[in-house]
């Protein structure tokens, strides 16, 4: 018997009072929490620093005039602030996070432990290379895994995220065209209508022109359209194609596409966002790919962290390898060495994309994950991811509308055709919040009306999938019946539906001190 009850066990008391309104603004375990600017004070601090000695100054007068005015918090207040805010977030560690094309799989904690070993976390990128041989060896080992898994001869490790890897691949293509003397004439990049928005944005950033290819009725590249786009070839720089594609389907004609692009004198950039579906089962190098970024934060389990940091190493074919950016690691008799300048071994490199050597903290996590799974485990990863997606598709196909016929890869895509008039995809998504799920990706890809893209990943159990499918079945039936209550969802999330229109119309992007009423009245 606990001290709190001292022999008085509690029992439920029937009551008609809902208790929803509270004085504190908190709701049971969900504590109310204001902004640090409202709870902190400039005089508080959570860090004890030695007192400056005074006297020395070599700033030459280049000194800040206005103080920042930023508040501080003591450690208990700060910890409580972030704990309270954390409870307003959904996360993989809380439940299924079926965000299509994002591969929200479990993030093993061994990865975190390894990344925090001082031998990795407490080393400087410009230390003498003799003092960081273990770090360079790790980068080389990870590079070997990536090259072997993709069947590609080279990999650029420095890109900071998936979109940055796209930039890397497209800049390598640009450099290859410069070397051929065709950079000014070959400007056209073919991009499917279903592509991630980063693909056309990247092509434009590299100075290319985007030419959109249609999808066919099977959700793949429309080969008739593609061939028509290749009637003239001397202006073609390449194609940017996601495989498996954003409809969750393997591009059946991928080798033909690669051949057509190569015959046209262009290069094949593959968006590797969906590599999780095929890792260990298919090597992109066997499909004619010239460049592909790998999102370590998707396929290889590094945490998404609420929007980064990511990491996007980019594998390159023999045709593009000479143009890989600096830095890269080589091994010789003296050990491992960084090539940091675009000369000598790297005379043809297209340049440097970032300061230093890439996302080392993510490299450690990804390698830890790869070693844990091994070649056998990674193959099982892909198979379970695909099995889980097909299971969801099979269980929901009678209540929702699959966008395409046949099996899917790692994600199941539905259109909104099953919903009653007035009920939209977003209403289904918001109803899922009340049921304790993060919604699927919605309204993407653009080629499917009201798209709902569900990617469960391999780290969900059958029990979780069953519970999810049972929930989705009920929500889908409500949507089909035109249940108006869906329009008001979510009812139980920490916030009701938020006004994004107002946020964009008159952007408030930082906190400003409220004007005291007496001053405002003057």
In this complex, which beta carbon is closest to another protein, that of residue 134 or of residue 422? 134
List, in sequence order, every residue forming a beta bridge with 314; answer none if it has no partner.
156, 293
Q: Which is nearer to another protein, 85 or 515 (CB)?
A: 85
Kindly state the smallest distance separating residue 274's Cβ from another protein, in Å.
Answer: 13
Closer residue to another protein (CB): 15 or 512: 512
Q: Which residues contact 60 (CB under 8 A, 6 or more apart)?
A: none
- The CB-of-155 to another protein minimum distance in angstroms stands at 15
| In the complex, minimum distance from the CB of residue 5 to another protein, in angstroms, rounded to a whole number | 31
Backbone angles phi, psi at 441, to 5 degrees: -65, 135
CB 98 within 8 A of CB 248: no
For residue 12, which phi and psi values (nearest 5 degrees)?
A: -60, 140
Instruction: Give the nearest distance from C-beta 12 to another protein in angstroms.
Output: 29
Report which of 435, 489, 497 is spatially closest to residue 467, judged by C-alpha positions: 435
**Cβ atoms 269, 290 nearer than 8 A:** yes
Distance CA 271, CA 289 (A): 10
Nearer to another protein, 210 or 230 (CB): 210
Nearer to another protein, 8 or 495 (CB): 495
Closer to another protein by CB, 235 or 356: give it. 356
Is the CB of residue 347 less than 8 Å from the CB of residue 323?
no
Give the shortest CB-325-to-another protein separation in angstroms: 8
Nearer to another protein, 321 or 381 (CB): 381
Least CB distance from residue 482 to another protein, whole Å? 20
Dihedral angle computed from the Cα positions of residues 119, 123, 125 and 131, in that order, rounded to the nearest 10 degrees:
-70
Q: For 507, how many CA atoms within 13 A lie in the half-sphere containing its CB?
A: 3
Distance CA 221, CA 431 (A): 33
Instruction: Collapse the DSSP code of 27 into the 3-class scheme (helix H, G, I; strand E, B; otherwise coil) and give the result.
Output: strand
Min separation Cβ 433 and another protein, Å: 5
The whole-angstrom separation of Cα 420 and Cα 301 is 38
């Amino acid at each position: 018997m606990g001290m709190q009850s001292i022999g008085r066990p509690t029992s439920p008391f029937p009551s008609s009072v809902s208790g929803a309104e509270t004085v504190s603004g908190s709701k049971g375990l969900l504590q109310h929490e204001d902004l640090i600017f409202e709870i902190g004070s400039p005089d508080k601090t959570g860090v004890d620093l030695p007192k400056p000695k005074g006297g020395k100054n070599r700033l030459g007068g280049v000194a800040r005039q206005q103080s920042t005015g930023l508040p501080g918090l003591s450690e208990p207040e700060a910890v409580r602030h972030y704990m309270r805010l954390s409870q307003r977030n959904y996360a993989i560690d809380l439940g299924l996070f079926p965000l299509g094309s994002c591969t929200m799989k479990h993030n093993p904690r061994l990865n975190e432990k390894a990344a925090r070993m001082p031998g990795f976390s407490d080393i400087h990128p410009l230390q003498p290379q003799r003092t960081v041989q273990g770090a360079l060896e790790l980068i080389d080992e990870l590079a070997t895994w990536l090259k072997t898994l993709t069947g590609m001869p080279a990999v650029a490790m420095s890109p900071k995220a998936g979109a940055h890897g796209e930039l890397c691949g497209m800049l390598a293509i640009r450099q290859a065209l410069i070397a051929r003397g065709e950079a000014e004439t070959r400007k056209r990049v073919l991009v499917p209508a279903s592509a991630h928005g980063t693909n056309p944005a990247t092509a434009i950033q590299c100075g290319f022109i985007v030419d959109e290819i249609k999808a066919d009725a099977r959700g793949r590249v429309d080969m008739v359209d593609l061939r028509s786009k290749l009637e003239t070839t001397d202006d073609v720089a390449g194609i940017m194609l996601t495989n498996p594609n954003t409809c969750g389907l393997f591009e059946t004609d991928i080798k033909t596409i690669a051949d057509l692009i190569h015959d046209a004198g262009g290069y094949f950039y593959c968006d590797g966002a969906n590599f999780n579906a095929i890792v260990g089962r298919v090597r992109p190098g066997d499909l004619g790919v010239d460049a592909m970024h790998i999102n370590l934060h998707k396929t290889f389990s590094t945490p998404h962290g609420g929007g980064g940091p990511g990491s996007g190493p980019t594998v390159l074919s023999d045709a593009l390898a000479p143009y890989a950016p600096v830095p890269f690691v080589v091994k010789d008799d003296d050990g491992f060495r960084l090539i940091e300048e675009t000369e000598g071994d790297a005379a043809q490199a297209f340049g440097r994309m970032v300061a230093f050597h890439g996302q080392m903290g993510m490299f450690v996590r990804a390698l830890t994950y790869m070693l844990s799974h091994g070649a056998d485990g990674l193959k099982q990863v892909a198979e379970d991811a695909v099995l889980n997606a097909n299971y969801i598709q099979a269980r929901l196909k009678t209540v929702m509308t699959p966008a395409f016929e046949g099996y899917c890869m790692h994600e199941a895509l539905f259109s909104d055709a099953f919903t009653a008039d007035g009920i939209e995809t977003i209403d289904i998504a918001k109803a899922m919040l009340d049921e304790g799920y993060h919604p699927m990706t919605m309204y993407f890809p653009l080629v499917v009306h009201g798209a709902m893209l569900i990617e469960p990943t391999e780290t969900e159990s059958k029990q979780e999938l069953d519970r999810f499918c049972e929930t989705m079945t009920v929500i889908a039936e409500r949507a089909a019946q035109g249940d108006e209550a869906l329009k008001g969802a979510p009812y139980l999330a920490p916030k009701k539906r938020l006004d994004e229109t107002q946020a964009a119309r008159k952007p408030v992007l930082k906190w400003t001190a409220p004007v005291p009423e007496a001053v405002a009245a003057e």
